Amino acid sequence: GSQSLVWLKSQKIGGETVETGPKICLPVDKRNTIWFIFRTVKSEDSEVCSRCYLSEDGLIFYCAALKVKELVVAEYHRKIKEAFEVFDHEANNTVDVREIGTIIRSLGCCPSEGELHDLIAEVEEEEPTGYIRYEKFLPVMTEVLLERRYRPIPEDTLLRAFEVLDSSKRGFLTREELIKYMTEEGEPFSQEEMEEMLSAAVDPESNSIHYKDYIAMMVVDES
């Protein structure tokens, strides 16, 4: 026969009230089954992953969610601290606001200039302006990583974008074409950003960008 796996509205797990939403019933067979379910921890207001085991005797519930989340957050804190310290030249837990975009992108996030401006407004010191303190940046950046905001564009999407620009299907763009597209279309690059891209992307011998090679080099590894 078959059984149904049932979750009630909420349960007490390790002292925390875990809300599971409306009651859910799923048909399952009698073999031991592991279910991965997303639940919301009320005190933290964020999604976490829990494990449910179904045995022949009924439901045996084991929650690894809180521990899993603690480990994930600890790893994010380590990465954020390492990235921040690279630009904390005075070793006083403070960085120049102009470095924040580089720090955020080094953590695998790719915000637009508008999104970056909004995030900076959230964490920048009121006095003195132009600086960001680690203790203010850490919780905001941790939330960004947990929510997987500002994810990089997939490699195939980048390739299609370059292919649209390369209407002759040559497999490359000239330096002049690249400058035109990056500074006159869409959200324009600043002069500094353009110089950085040219330095990384343009082959000095042919004075062009072979975009498949460039995409392979720039794609962010999210593992």
- Going by C-beta distance under 8 Å and a sequence separation of 6 or more, which residues neighbour residue 61? 11, 52, 53
Residue keyed to tokens 């002292």: 15
* pLDDT value of residue 67: 54
pLDDT at res. 222: 52
The per-residue pLDDT for 139 is: 95
Could you give the count of Cα atoms lying within 13 Å of 20 in the half-sphere of its Cβ?
19
Output the CA–CA distances (angstroms, integers) from residue 22 to 8, 9, 58, 99, 197, in the order listed. Answer: 7, 6, 21, 45, 50
pLDDT averaged over consecutive 10-residue blocks of the chain (223 residues)? Answer: 38 43 39 36 37 40 51 90 95 94 90 90 86 95 92 85 92 93 84 87 92 80 51
Please tell me the predicted confidence (pLDDT) of residue 78: 94
Domain coverage including residue 84: 69-146
Residue that finishes a domain, picked among 146, 163, 184: 146
Q: In the listed set 97, 121, 146, which residue is the last one of a domain according to the structure? A: 146
For residue 110, tell me if it sits in a domain.
Answer: yes
Residue 191: per-residue pLDDT: 86
Burial class (CB in 10 A: 0-12, 13-18, 19+), 11: middle
Q: What pLDDT score does 193 carry?
A: 83
What does the pLDDT read at residue 218?
A: 72
Counting the structural domains of the chain, the total is: 3
Specify the pLDDT at position 28.
Answer: 41
- For the whole model, what pTM was predicted? 0.54
161: domain CATH number? 1.10.238.10
On whether both 123 and 74 belong to a single domain, the answer is yes
